[in-house]
Chain A
């Protein structure tokens, strides 16, 4: 059996991965398995789940040029190290990371501890949404006094948001 990557050497490493419910089989030769970092199981899972060996070539063409605007990290760097460049990389590479995180973890959303800062911000955002909804409703119902009071509350909240740490 030939190696799926270089298609010239005999494959010596056989891998089966379940990725988003689909089974993928990959056969690699010694040299390619080393190059893909298969010797290091964590590095392998990271890089390949993200790039999906089967589709690696097409993805690489498009995405590897994308760089994180905050730290300048690229997808190729991730492939090499299995680590990201900064916290903003999670947003930059969100598309590629989605499947990877799904395969890696129990769930796709954080349900644990919230930093106080985030809690405060989330509360304020939640309140802002509620106020805006009420304001629209009041305007639609032509309750202008209520609307004026809601508008003042929104202004106050906006300044609170700006001044919060």
Chain B
């Protein structure tokens, strides 16, 4: 598969409608694995990294899940293309900075990506729409078992899977979900939630993981520890916490509807106004306003069929996607201009917010969840 094909279709996680998809944008599970007694990528010399890559890459490409995959060395991808992959969460920001000796393999549906020679020799990740940590885990677990037959992974009976960073040792697993929580942010309850979550050994982060800012009311929640707990236990614990947060988000929205309906309709109206008429828009402002429109769809002020165009704008207005669509490198000012233009065009067919319809939220996607399982 070529890069243009990756670009042309949005990942399943963006189009899909997993359980609780209104609030849970995506679920991700990644395993870190290393080859026994070979230097980790950060310590290996270039020749060694290349030899590890040559050993690992064919094994990954041969997986039945990777038929017709997109597989590319990082050095053969332009800076812009790498950034596109970061914006789609298919590679990490750290991996995007790598050059010779590193590669990425992505399956056709973009539900599975394997980074070779990131911080560890292998970082395999599954990403699904909505709250589907278990399904994501199953897929990664399956390819891990398949790869294990061909490659000898570094494993210790006591410490489990050995990783470059001691924070990942044990299961080598990081499970995370991206949540859209405008209700908790607007009602200023979000810090309480973040604190409570941190206390029970889970981490809350911004849009692109560690050290990134929360934008567009998007928060990533993940397990902090990897040693001393089974994979399934970690997934179950995380799923339960996320379900509680979903409930809190729904509650916060109900309270806002009852106590501050004017504030809500004002926010939605303003977001609609600015997005429809602005001619320059920074990426952060766009995310924050799109978040409010997304909330508007959840609350019924916009028809349900407008959900997908809004969700797509979250990705399409990111800097690299913007430049890719315009086929040229743009400076910040040009990007802001183009971003505003794309948003105006997409919102042309958007009806005005119908505040009278703003009422109880529609279903929370639990039906889709039953079918999925």
Contacts and interface: CB of A to CB of B under 8 A. Distances in A.
Contacts of B58: none
Contacts of A46: 165-167
Contacts of A86: 34, 37-40, 43, 154
A69 B34 CA distance: 18
A35 B107 CA distance: 42
A101 B153 contact: no
A32 B248 CA distance: 43
Interface in A103-138: 104-118, 122
Interface string A66-110: 000011010001000111111110110000010011001111111
Contacts of A107: 227-229
A77 B40 CA distance: 13
Interface string A46-62: 10000000000000000
B155 A115 contact: yes
A91 B152 CA distance: 18
Contact of B166 (A73, A97, A113): A97
Interface residues of B, number: 43
B145 A111 contact: no
Contacts of A164: none
A105 B224 CA distance: 8
A42 interface: yes
A71 B45 CA distance: 11
A90 B167 CA distance: 13
A56 B160 CA distance: 28
Interface in B159-187: 159-162, 164-167, 169-171, 173
B40 A110 contact: no
Q: Which of B42, B141, B165, B227 has the most CB of A within 10 A?
A: B227
Contacts of A85: 39-40, 43
A52 to B, nearest CB: 15
Q: Which residue, of A46, A82, A101, A114, has the highest number of chain B Cβ atoms within 10 A?
A: A101
B201 A106 contact: yes
A122 B157 CA distance: 8
Contacts of B259: none
A105 B229 CA distance: 9
Contacts of B43: 71, 73, 77, 83-86
Given A42-B210, A83-B165, A88-B37, A112 B171 contact: yes
B153 A115 contact: yes
Contacts of B156: 87, 90-91, 110
A83 B40 contact: yes
Contacts of B37: 70, 86-88
Contact of A106 (B42, B152, B153, B228): B228
A112 B160 contact: yes
Contact of A42 (B141, B157, B160, B167): B167
B228 A113 contact: no
Contacts of B161: 110, 113
Contacts of B171: 110, 112-113
Contact of A110 (B153, B160, B201): B160
Given A71-B43, A110-B171, A84 B149 contact: no
Given A101-B169, A117-B152, A118-B157, A84 B164 contact: yes
A82 B226 contact: no
- Which 4 pairs, one residue from A and one from B, show the smallest C-beta to C-beta distance? A107-B228, A110-B160, A87-B154, A105-B227
Interface of A: 42, 46, 70-71, 73, 77, 81-88, 90-91, 97, 100-101, 104-118, 122
